[in-house]
Amino acid sequence: MWYYRSPTIVFGEDSLSFLNSVKSRRCLIVSDRNLEKAGIVDNIKELLPEDCRTMIFSSIDQEPTFSQMTSAMDSIMKFKPDHIVAVGGGSVIDTAKVILFRYARPDLDFYDLTPLEYLGIKEAAKLIAIPTTSGTGSECSWAAVVSDEREKRKNELASSEILPDYAILDPAVVTGLPRKQTVSTAVDAMTHAIEAYVSTWRNFYSDALAEKALELITGNIAEVLHDPGDIQARNSVHIGASMAGSSFSNSQIGLAHALGHALGAIFKVPHGTSVGLFLPAVVEFNSTVVHDRYDRLNSIFPESMRDKTLAGSLRKIFATMGQPVHISDAGISKDSYNAAKPSLEKLAMESTGLVANPRESESADIHMLLEEVMG
């Protein structure tokens, strides 16, 4: 017994206009300052029905902690939104999920956001996610990454009740995404598809989504990087990234995420860059148990980027995209990396990314993988 969960997905050009049909009288818009400055929040406001009152919360940092995420709860409680529209990257959408949780259950604390109990969140407000990056998959997932206040740690909180009701995938909002972010988020999405496909929790639904996601991303990312305004290519990568998100959300992430989250907690490296850094090494490590599945994924890569093995193809495509495969290329010095190794190992061992990775891993394996990316 298992579930397949997904928001209603509105996709393709002009899909933002869906907002006009939303039955909302009081809508909280969650975004970040840059997107607000860029006018995207105003766009959203205009698209909502005329009689809909709005409140904007955009004080969200890059890697928000629980108290930052919930810093406006008093005003939000007074405003009483019937809808929450999250427009932004993974942190913004995760913040909206945490706000929804807190709004519905002010009596509970941060760690009470778990999949182990019924929380009664869904009735409080509808959640609409509009991703402005193509990669995190947060719009399709029931997890939220929350940075810890007291220590360097990223917590992966989850509950099926924070899964968005709607995800709007409009390619127009990603055509302006800078190259660096386009690369790191696409790498994140590829990692989602690959990890979900070999997870011990994989299933027919997550498999189908992972395969198509990888086809759409690897087949179009070169064009997106060559011509960032190419709406068709952007649309393919955007939908592919969301499918990858849906895939891991209905299966599980694995070791590359366990290691990537650990690295990202200690060094300020973008999430996609850190998981991608470990992905080829993790694929080689897992190959002893899932090589046939990796071969199948490898066959999906466009011929020009395909190597003999999936790890090889990943290194090839990462090289063309500018995704680092060694820590020094990610701006981390060997000395500081060595000094952080015990903490990295501990954080990775404590990650939920370990539970459904196809190959069992012990501290010694984590240690070896951390060494691998030293270069």
Partner 1 sequence: MPVFPSNDWVNSFVEEINRNRKYEDTAKDWEGDFNFVVEKDQKFHETVYIYLDLYHGKCRRGGLYAAGEAPKAAFYYSGPYQNWVRLINGEFDPLKAVLVGKFKLKGSMMKIMRYTAAAKELVRTANLVDTQFE
Q: Give CA–CA dist 87/122, Å, rounded.
A: 19
The total number of residues written for the chain in this structure: 375
CB of 192 to Fe ion, least distance (A): 6
* Binding span for partner 1 by CB under 8 A among 49-57, 132-140, 150-158, 231-239: 150-158
For tokens 């690369």, the residue is 183
Nearest to 113 by CA among 102, 129, 122: 102
Name which of 184 and 252 has its Cβ closer to partner 1. 252
CB of 89 to Fe ion, least distance (A): 12
Q: Please state the φ and ψ torsions of residue 147, each to the nearest 5 degrees.
A: -75, 150
Task: Identify the DSSP state of 2.
Answer: -
Binding-site size for partner 1 (CB under 8 A) equals: 22
Q: Give CA–CA dist 191/35, Å, rounded.
A: 26
Q: Which of residues 259-298 bind partner 1 (CB under 8 A)?
A: none
Indicate whether 4 belongs to the interface with partner 1 (CB under 8 A).
no
Nearest to 132 by CA among 29, 259, 202, 274: 29
- Residue 354 binds: one of partner 1, Fe ion, none (C-beta under 5 to 8 A by kind): partner 1
- Residue 227 binds: one of Fe ion, partner 1, none (C-beta under 5 to 8 A by kind): none
Name which of 28 and 258 has its Cβ closer to Fe ion. 258
Indicate whether 188 belongs to the interface with Fe ion (CB under 5 A).
yes
Q: Give CA–CA dist 218/237, Å, rounded.
A: 8
Helix, strand, or coil (residue 166): strand
Q: Give CA–CA dist 96/103, Å, rounded.
A: 10
Indicate whether 65 belongs to the interface with partner 1 (CB under 8 A).
no
Q: Give CA–CA dist 72/343, Å, rounded.
A: 33
CB of 156 to partner 1, least distance (A): 8
**Distances, alpha carbon 240 to alpha carbons 27, 136, 173, 249, 331, in Å:** 29, 11, 15, 14, 29
CB of 81 to Fe ion, least distance (A): 28
Indicate whether 156 belongs to the interface with partner 1 (CB under 8 A).
yes
- Residue 151 binds: one of partner 1, Fe ion, none (C-beta under 5 to 8 A by kind): none
Indicate whether 362 belongs to the interface with partner 1 (CB under 8 A).
yes
Q: How many CB atoms lie within 10 A of CB 15?
A: 19
Indicate whether 115 belongs to the interface with partner 1 (CB under 8 A).
yes
CB of 137 to Fe ion, least distance (A): 7
Q: Which of residues 94-113 bind partner 1 (CB under 8 A)?
A: 111-112
Nearest to 7 by CA among 171, 131, 99: 131
Given 31, 70, 155, 286, the residue binding partner 1 (CB under 8 A): 155
Given 46, 149, 295, 350, the residue binding partner 1 (CB under 8 A): 350
Diameter over CA atoms, the chain = 60
Q: Could you list the residues that contact Fe ion (CB under 5 A)? A: 188
Question: Residues in the site for partner 1, rule: CB under 8 A?
Answer: 1-3, 111-112, 114-116, 155-157, 200-201, 349-350, 352, 354-356, 360, 362-363
